[in-house]
């Protein structure tokens, strides 16, 4: 591990919007390697990497201040590996960098979902694997420019090996701190990320979508299901908001003038900011809906519960993936009606099952 006088050697696996933003912020305080695809790295080679914050701050990192590669070989000299791939790519990415790992290297899974760090840990021996959460939204606003479009504090599972990384985050001006209950934080991130699919299906910018009460009510339906499932599983999610997780659906259902007043921090996003799921649909890439709404559905089934709104959202997002540019853009009333219909149907089926002597409990 690097000493106080030696820059921490950090390799970012999966240099996309999250990886490039973090790498750019850390580059002046650490030896940073970005491992990614040519369409991401080539513009950085040509013009350097620019990262922007929501407060207007702009940082340009020359290309020669970074190591840019499409292969994970630099992991062999790394103190820290930040895994920033899509959650569905975790196993593949891990298999590629594991042969180069040194014993004692710290690996931090910074993906969406509940189990990405667990998937890394299953394939790693002799290294520390912990989970982390990046709570803010990010966007690629130019070929080599990445902007943070909302606020938030990075959370990382408490571990002695994470101290140098947290110190480097602080030096780079990245708000980050350890937590002794990363599972609660991960569940809280899933709870907040349930809005991503609603925003993506609407096609509206994130701020505009959050000011649409019917779309918020769609998110609230998913969050209510998730809260009930998480409670049944014995987990109390932690969300970085003024209201506790259990009250979040109620807050989302408030009339827009009241919501606007109470949710100033949530609405402090760029006017054109979107979710990563929306960006994936726009670029024809698979989304992470299976690790967000889909995770709620899987947990519900395992507990003998139902999550019909989440289940219908998963179906609609997969339909949007297949439709590509011709995908439907849902209005608030349309999507809300669709989810209400899914819930009514689930209740009818649950009643029929109970009448027959069994079946899952309806939400």
pLDDT of residue 268: 63
Give the CATH number of domain 8-180. 3.40.50.720
pLDDT of residue 4: 58
Q: What are phi and psi of 236, to 5 degrees?
A: -110, 105
Q: What is the pLDDT along the chain (363 residues), one digit of tens a residue?
A: 555 568 999 999 999 999 999 999 999 999 999 999 999 999 999 999 999 987 778 999 999 999 999 999 999 999 999 999 988 888 899 999 999 999 999 999 998 888 888 889 888 887 899 999 998 888 888 999 999 988 889 999 999 999 999 999 999 999 999 999 999 999 999 999 999 999 999 999 988 999 999 999 999 999 999 999 999 999 999 988 778 899 999 999 999 999 988 877 666 666 667 888 998 999 898 999 999 999 999 999 999 999 999 999 999 999 999 999 999 999 999 999 999 999 999 999 888 877 776 555 555
pLDDT of residue 360: 57
CA 27 – CA 9 distance, rounded (Å): 10
Q: What is the CA radius of gyration of the chain?
A: 21
Q: Where are the domains of the chain?
A: 8-180, 183-355
Residue 138: which of 174, 187, 90 has the closest Cα?
A: 174
- Sign of the C-alpha dihedral computed for residues 36, 41, 45 and 51 taken in this order: negative
Task: Copy the structure tokens of residue 37.
Answer: 């695809």
CA 353 – CA 334 distance, rounded (Å): 29
- Please report, in angstroms and rounded to a whole number, the separation of the first and last CA atoms in the chain: 49
Task: Copy the structure tokens of residue 128.
Answer: 């520390």
pLDDT of residue 118: 87
CB-CB contact of 204 with 212 (8 Å)? yes
pLDDT of residue 266: 64
Does the predicted model carry a pTM greater than 0.75? yes
Query: How many degrees, rounded to 5, is the angle at CA 230 between CA 226 and CA 231?
Result: 115
CA 133 – CA 42 distance, rounded (Å): 28
Q: Do domains 8-180 and 183-355 have the same CATH topology?
A: no
Task: Copy the structure tokens of residue 43.
Answer: 């513009």
């820059």: which residue's tokens?
Answer: 7
Task: Copy the structure tokens of residue 145.
Answer: 């420019």
- Domain 183-355 in CATH 1.10.1040.10: yes
């Amino acid at each position: 591990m690097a000493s106080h006088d030696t820059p921490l050697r950090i390799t970012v696996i999966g240099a996309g919007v999250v990886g490039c933003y973090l790498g750019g912020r850390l580059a002046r305080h650490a030896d940073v390697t970005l491992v990614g695809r040519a369409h991401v790295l080539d513009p950085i080679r040509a013009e350097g990497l620019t990262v922007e914050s929501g407060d207007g701050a702009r940082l340009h990192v020359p290309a020669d201040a970074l190591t840019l590669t499409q292969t994970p070989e630099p992991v062999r000299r790394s103190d820290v590996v930040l895994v920033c791939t899509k959650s569905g790519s975790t196993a593949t990415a891990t298999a590629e960098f594991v042969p180069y790992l040194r014993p004692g290297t710290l690996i931090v899974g910074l993906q969406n979902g509940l189990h990405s760090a667990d998937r890394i840990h299953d394939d790693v021996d002799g290294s520390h694997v912990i989970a982390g959460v990046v709570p803010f939204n990010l966007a690629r606003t130019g070929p080599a420019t990445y902007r943070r479009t909302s606020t938030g504090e990075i959370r990382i599972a408490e571990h002695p090996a994470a101290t140098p990384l947290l110190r480097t985050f602080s030096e780079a001006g990245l708000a980050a701190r350890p937590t002794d209950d990363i599972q609660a934080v991960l569940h809280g991130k899933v709870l907040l990320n349930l809005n991503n699919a609603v925003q993506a299906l609407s096609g509206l910018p994130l701020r505009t979508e959050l000011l649409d009460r019917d779309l918020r009510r769609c998110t609230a339906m998913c969050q209510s299901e998730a809260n009930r499932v998480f409670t049944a599983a014995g987990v109390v999610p932690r969300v970085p908001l003024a209201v506790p997780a259990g009250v979040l659906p109620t807050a989302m259902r408030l009339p827009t003038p009241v919501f606007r007043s109470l949710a100033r921090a949530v609405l402090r996003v760029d006017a054109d900011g979107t979710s990563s799921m929306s960006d994936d649909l726009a670029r024809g890439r698979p989304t992470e809906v299976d690790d967000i709404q889909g995770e709620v559905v899987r947990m519900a089934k395992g507990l003998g519960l139902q999550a019909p709104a989440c289940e219908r959202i998963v179906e609609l997002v997969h339909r949007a993936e297949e439709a590509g540019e011709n995908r439907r853009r849902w209005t608030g009333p349309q999507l809300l009606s669709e989810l209400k219909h899914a819930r009514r149907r689930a209740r009818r089926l649950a009643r029929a099952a109970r009448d027959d002597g069994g079946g899952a409990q309806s939400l």
